[in-house]
Amino acid sequence: MPYDPSAFPPFAVTVDLVVLTVRRHALCALAVRRGEPPYQGRWALPGGFVRGDEDLSTAAARELAEETGLHAHDPAGPLLPNAAHLEQLATYGDPKRDPRMRVVSVAHLALAPDLPAPRAGGDARSARWAPVEDLLDQEVGYAREDELAAPLAFDHARILADGVERARSKIEYSSLATAFCPQEFTVGELRRVYEAVWGVALDPRNFHRKVTGTPGFLVPTGGTTTRQGGRPAQLFRAGGATLLNPPMLRPEA
Amino acid sequence: MPYDPSAFPPFAVTVDLVVLTVRRHALCALAVRRGEPPYQGRWALPGGFVRGDEDLSTAAARELAEETGLHAHDPAGPLLPNAAHLEQLATYGDPKRDPRMRVVSVAHLALAPDLPAPRAGGDARSARWAPVEDLLDQEVGYAREDELAAPLAFDHARILADGVERARSKIEYSSLATAFCPQEFTVGELRRVYEAVWGVALDPRNFHRKVTGTPGFLVPTGGTTTRQGGRPAQLFRAGGATLLNPPMLRPEA
DNA sequence: CTGTTTATCGTCAGGCAGACGACTATGATC
DNA sequence: GATCATAGTCGTCTGCCTGACGATAAACAG
At residue B124, φ and ψ (nearest 5 deg) are: -105, 135
| Res. B80: pLDDT tops 90 | no
Calculate the average pLDDT of chain B.
89
What pLDDT was estimated at residue A155?
97
A134-191 tens-digit pLDDT: 999 865 545 454 555 578 999 999 999 999 999 999 999 999 999 999 999 999 999 9
Name the protein residue, with chain letter, whose CA is nearest the C1' of D18: A206
What pLDDT was estimated at residue A126?
86
Any B CB within 8 A of A201 CB: no
How many CA atoms lie within 13 Å of A146's alpha carbon, on the beta-carbon side? 7
What pLDDT was estimated at residue A7?
65
B180-220 tens-digit pLDDT: 999 999 999 999 999 999 999 999 999 999 999 999 999 99
Strand D surroundings (CB within 7 A): A 203, 205-206, 209-210, 213, 226, 229-232, 246, 248-249, 251; B 186-189, 191, 204-206, 208-209, 212, 228-234
Instruction: Kindly report the CATH number that applies to the domain delimited by A176-238.
Output: 1.10.10.10
- Of all nucleotides, the one whose C1′ comes closest to residue B250's CA is C17
**Nucleotide D11 C1' to residue B221 CA (A):** 25
Task: Using an 8 Å CB-CB cutoff, list chain B residues near A55.
Answer: 93-95
What pLDDT was estimated at residue B83?
87
How would residue B162 be classed by pLDDT, with cut points 50, 70 and 90?
very high
Name the protein residue, with chain letter, whose CA is nearest the C1' of C10: A205
| Res. B118: pLDDT tops 70 | no
What pLDDT was estimated at residue A130?
94
Q: Contact B161/B136 with Cβ under 8 angstroms?
A: yes
What pLDDT was estimated at residue B5?
47
State whether A36 and B91 contact (CB < 8 Å).
no
Nearest to B68 by CA among B12, B108, B103, B24: B108
| Check whether domain A5-172 has CATH 3.90.79.10, yes or no | yes
- Ordered by start, the domain boundaries in chain B are 5-172, 176-238
What pLDDT was estimated at residue A124?
46
Q: How many angstroms separate the Cα of A62 from the Cα of each of A54, A197, B10, B49?
A: 10, 26, 19, 28
Min Cα distance A170 → chain B (Å) is 13
**Nucleotide C10 C1' to residue A215 CA (A):** 21
Which residues, at least 6 apart from A211, have a Cβ–Cβ distance to it below 8 Å?
Answer: A187, A190, A191, A217, A218, A248
Task: Using an 8 Å CB-CB cutoff, list chain A residues near B90.
Answer: 88
Q: At what angle do helices B204-213 and B187-198 cross, to 10 degrees?
A: 110
Task: Categorise residue A25: left if φ over 0, alpha if ψ from -120 to 50, beta otherwise.
Answer: left
How would residue B3 be classed by pLDDT, with cut points 50, 70 and 90?
very low
Any B CB within 8 A of A122 CB: yes
Any B CB within 8 A of A209 CB: no
What pLDDT was estimated at residue A120?
54
Q: How many angstroms separate the Cα of A50 from the Cα of each of A10, B109, B208?
A: 14, 25, 50
| Res. B147: pLDDT tops 90 | no
Q: Contact A42/A152 with Cβ under 8 angstroms?
A: yes
State whether B122 and A1 contact (CB < 8 Å).
yes
- Of all nucleotides, the one whose C1′ comes closest to residue B214's CA is C16
Positions of E strands within chain B? 12-23, 26-34, 43-44, 47-49, 71-72, 83-92, 103-111, 124-131, 218-225, 233-238
State whether A104 and B100 contact (CB < 8 Å).
no
| Res. B56: pLDDT tops 90 | yes
**Nucleotide D22 C1' to residue A203 CA (A):** 14
pTM over cut 0.75: yes
Task: Using an 8 Å CB-CB cutoff, list chain B residues near A154.
Answer: none
Please name the residue of chain B whose CA is at the shortest distance from the CA of residue A40.
B2
Average pLDDT over residues B51-66: 96
Cα pseudo-dihedral B187, B191, B192, B196, rounded to 10: 160
* Inter-chain CB pairs, A–B, below 8 Å: 91
Task: Write out chain A's pLDDT in tens, 253 residues.
Answer: 444 545 678 999 999 999 999 999 999 999 999 988 899 999 999 999 999 999 999 999 999 999 888 999 876 666 666 789 999 999 999 999 999 999 999 999 999 999 766 665 544 458 889 999 999 986 554 545 455 557 899 999 999 999 999 999 999 999 999 999 999 999 999 999 999 999 999 999 999 999 999 999 999 999 999 888 899 999 999 999 999 999 999 997 6
Of A8, A51, A55, the CB nearest to B9: A51
Average pLDDT over residues B149-173: 94
What pLDDT was estimated at residue A82?
75
